[in-house]
Amino acid sequence: MKEICEQFKITHRNSTAYLPQMNGVVEAANKNIKRILRKMIDNYKCWHENLPYALLETVIPAEVEIQSLRIIQEAELSDAEWRITRAFNKKVRVRTFEVGQLVLKHIFPHQEEYKGKFAPNWQGQYVVHKVLSRGALVLAEMDGQLWRKAINSDAVKRYYI
Return the CATH number at 121: 2.30.30.140
C-alpha–C-alpha distance, residues 98 and 132, integer Å:
10
C-alpha–C-alpha distance, residues 127 and 145, integer Å:
10
Q: What is the pLDDT of residues 114-142, one digit of tens each?
A: 888 888 888 889 999 999 887 889 999 99
Q: What percent of the chain has pLDDT over 90?
A: 13
Residue-level pLDDT at 62: 44
Q: What is the pLDDT of residues 25-34, one digit of tens each?
A: 677 777 877 8
C-alpha distances (whole Å) from 16 to each of 19, 75, 152 are 7, 24, 6
Residues making up the chain, counted from first to last: 161
Region for residue 27 given its phi and psi (left: phi exceeds 0; alpha: psi -120 to 50; beta: otherwise): alpha
Co-location of 112 and 43 in the same domain:
no
- Nearest-CA neighbor of 125 among 158, 95, 155? 158
Q: Is residue 96 included in any domain, yes or no?
A: no
Give me the mean pLDDT over the 93-108 stretch: 87
Domain that holds residue 84: 2-91
